[in-house]
A = this chain, B = another copy of it.
């Protein structure tokens, strides 16, 4: 990885601006699980998955909601740009993050060619974010259609993603097409209609999908929980993201290796006190990309 003298010379001559360059942004999809009180002193709060959006102050898409993002800074690494952006725009510093996907379709941004490197960020409820709003996420799938042929299949479905904030309800409709042939897999996402800026609903959908998939084989869930939690809280968290009910007894056994019991219990809850647990990070819950 060392350069020879002649190579060094060449570098001096190298002109950086010979070809046109695209703009590059980092865009971050921020998630949390919010406790929704039930109003019943016995009942536990329900978990609701939320995404944090900010209202754009300038065109394009002025006054529309968007995910947190910025043009990247040449002086900083991508992840440093991400962290600075999140610090400056929403004033948050403690979160789990991972890279999602890089979007670069020609027409993404009406201004010019923009490539977006997207990240997923997970927050617990202690973090207070500024300059934006948390939106409840409701996902509904429709119109599943499978056409098989001898080279593979074509699968399509409709996605309805409703984002509900304090005052606004943002409806978004996507159409997914997965084309599998002899030699290729092609996943296309078409935005049928969207009430948020750019193709950001697409990015949010990708993040949701990744979150769901990673639940099953990693310990990513702990990014959304406080340090101490009950097993029922953990179960509600899984259920909210997966969109299905789980059996309690089995859930406890399956997740036993993911958690460590503490010698602390909840109280004043109108029912038997429950033991608190913390995450048990170990290598088996591998999180390797």
Which residues in A have some Cβ–Cβ distance to B below 8 Å? 1, 3, 6-7, 10-11, 14, 16, 19-24, 58-62, 71-72, 74-78, 94-99, 101-102, 104-106, 110-113, 115, 117, 146, 148, 152-153, 155, 178, 180, 182-185, 187, 191, 193-194, 206, 209-210, 213, 223, 227, 279, 281-283, 287-289
With the chains together, A146 CA to B6 CA distance in Å?
44
Count the copies.
2
CB-contact partner of A111 in B14, B71, B99, B180, under 8 A: B14
A201 to chain B, nearest CB (A): 9
Q: Are B102 and A11 in contact (CB under 8 A)?
A: no
Question: 10 closest A-B pairs (Cβ-Cβ)?
Answer: A78-B104, A10-B59, A7-B59, A21-B21, A152-B281, A102-B102, A180-B281, A16-B112, A20-B74, A102-B117
A110 contact set on B, CB distance < 8 A? 3, 11
CB-contact partner of A183 in B21, B94, B98, under 8 A: B94
With the chains together, A182 CA to B289 CA distance in Å?
19
A125 to chain B, nearest CB (A): 13
Q: Are B1 and A191 in contact (CB under 8 A)?
A: yes
Beyond A3-B59, A19-B71, A76-B106, 8 additional pairs, beta carbon < 8 A: A3-B60, A3-B110, A10-B62, A98-B185, A99-B101, A185-B287, A187-B288, A187-B289
